[in-house]
C-alpha cells in the first residue's frame, strides 16, 4: 500500500508539472508581443534621410497605450527602421531628431494590424547631397565634392566629411588594428575637399554630416563607396 501511495503521489506530481508547463506555454503564446512596424525615413522628394544605428541621433518612437516610456527604433544609415516585438495594442508613433514630421503623429492598433510597413516623410533641418568623387581615386587620396543646404531657415553650424573602412561612418567611428577612419572639417556649405593618407586597394565608405545652429542632432548624407587604386 505504501508503494501504491508513492506511485499515486508521483503521478499526481507529474500531472501537475505537465499542466503547469502547458499553462506556461499557453501564456507565452497568448502574450504575443509580435506587432511589427517598419519603413524608411524620406524627405518630400522621396530621398532617404539617413540615421545612425549606433546612437539616438534619429529615432522613431512608439508609445503604447498605457505605457510611460516609448519603444525607440534607431534609424539606420540607409534610412530604414523597424521593430517586430510590439504589443497588440494602440501605439502613437512619431520621429525625434533633427527633422520635422510632415505627417501627423501616427496611431496604429497592432491588435488589428499585426504588421505595418509605412515610410515616414520629414523635412530635415539640413539637406546633404550625396558625396561625389571628383576625377578618380588614387592609391592614397580622393577628392570629394559635397553640398549642404538649410531648410525652413536652418543654418549649418558644423560640417564634416567622414571616410572609413566601416560603413555609414560618423565622427565617432574610430580606427583600430583592422580598420581606419578619418574626419575632415568642411569650411563651406558646398565645395570640394581632398582626403589624403588612404590605404591602397581598399574599400572606403564616405558620407557627410552637418549640424544646424541650435539642433541637438546631426543630419547625414547618403554614403558613397570607393576603392582606392
- Residue 50: name the closest of 172, 225, 222, 224 by CA: 222
pTM: 0.83
- At residue 32, the pLDDT reads 62
- At residue 139, the pLDDT reads 97
- At residue 20, the pLDDT reads 47
- At residue 104, the pLDDT reads 84
pLDDT in tens, the chain (229 residues): 444 444 444 544 444 444 445 444 444 344 567 899 999 999 999 999 999 999 999 999 999 999 999 999 999 999 999 999 999 999 999 999 999 999 889 999 999 999 999 999 999 999 999 999 999 999 999 999 999 999 999 999 999 999 999 999 999 999 988 889 999 999 999 999 999 999 999 999 999 999 999 999 999 999 999 999 9
Please, are residues 92 and 103 in contact by the beta-carbon 8 Å criterion?
Answer: no
- Indicate left, alpha or beta for 201 from its phi (over 0: left) and psi (-120 to 50: alpha): left
Cα–Cα distance measured from residue 187 to residue 160, given in angstroms and rounded to the nearest whole number = 9
Q: 3-class DSSP state for residue 31?
A: helix
- At residue 31, the pLDDT reads 52
C-alpha R_g of the chain: 26
- At residue 18, the pLDDT reads 47
- At residue 80, the pLDDT reads 98
The C-alpha cell 588612404 sits at 198
The CB-based long-range contact list for 109-112 (8 Å cut-off, 24+ gap) reads 110/35, 110/36, 110/37, 110/86
Adjacent-strand bridge partners of 82 = 38
Q: Which domains does the chain have, with CATH numbers?
A: 35-123 (2.60.40.1120), 126-227 (2.60.40.10)
* β strands within 67-128, DSSP E: 71-74, 80-86, 90-96, 99-101, 106-109, 115-117, 120-124, 126-128
Amino acid at each position: 500500500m505504501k508503494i501504491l501511495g508513492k506511485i499515486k503521489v508521483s503521478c499526481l506530481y507529474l500531472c501537475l508539472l505537465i499542466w503547469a508547463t502547458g499553462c506556461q506555454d499557453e501564456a507565452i503564446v497568448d502574450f504575443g508581443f509580435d506587432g511589427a512596424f517598419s519603413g524608411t525615413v524620406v524627405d518630400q522628394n522621396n530621398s532617404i534621410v539617413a540615421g545612425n544605428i549606433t546612437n539616438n541621433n534619429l529615432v522613431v518612437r512608439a508609445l503604447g497605450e498605457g505605457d510611460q516610456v516609448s519603444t525607440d527604433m534607431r534609424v539606420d544609415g540607409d534610412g530604414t527602421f523597424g521593430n517586430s516585438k510590439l504589443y497588440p495594442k494602440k501605439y502613437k508613433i512619431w520621429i525625434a531628431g533633427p527633422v520635422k514630421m510632415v505627417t501627423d503623429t501616427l496611431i496604429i492598433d497592432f491588435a488589428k494590424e499585426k504588421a505595418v510597413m509605412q515610410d515616414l516623410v520629414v523635412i530635415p533641418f539640413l539637406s546633404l547631397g550625396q558625396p561625389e568623387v571628383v576625377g578618380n581615386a588614387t592609391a592614397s587620396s580622393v577628392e570629394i565634392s559635397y553640398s549642404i543646404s538649410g531648410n525652413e531657415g536652418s543654418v549649418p553650424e558644423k560640417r564634416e566629411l567622414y571616410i572609413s573602412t566601416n560603413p555609414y561612418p560618423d565622427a565617432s567611428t574610430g580606427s583600430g588594428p583592422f580598420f581606419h577612419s578619418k574626419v575632415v572639417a568642411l569650411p563651406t556649405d558646398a565645395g570640394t575637399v581632398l582626403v589624403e593618407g588612404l590605404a591602397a586597394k581598399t574599400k572606403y565608405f564616405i558620407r557627410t554630416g552637418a549640424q544646424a545652429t541650435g539642433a541637438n542632432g546631426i543630419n547625414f548624407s547618403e554614403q558613397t563607396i570607393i576603392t582606392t587604386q
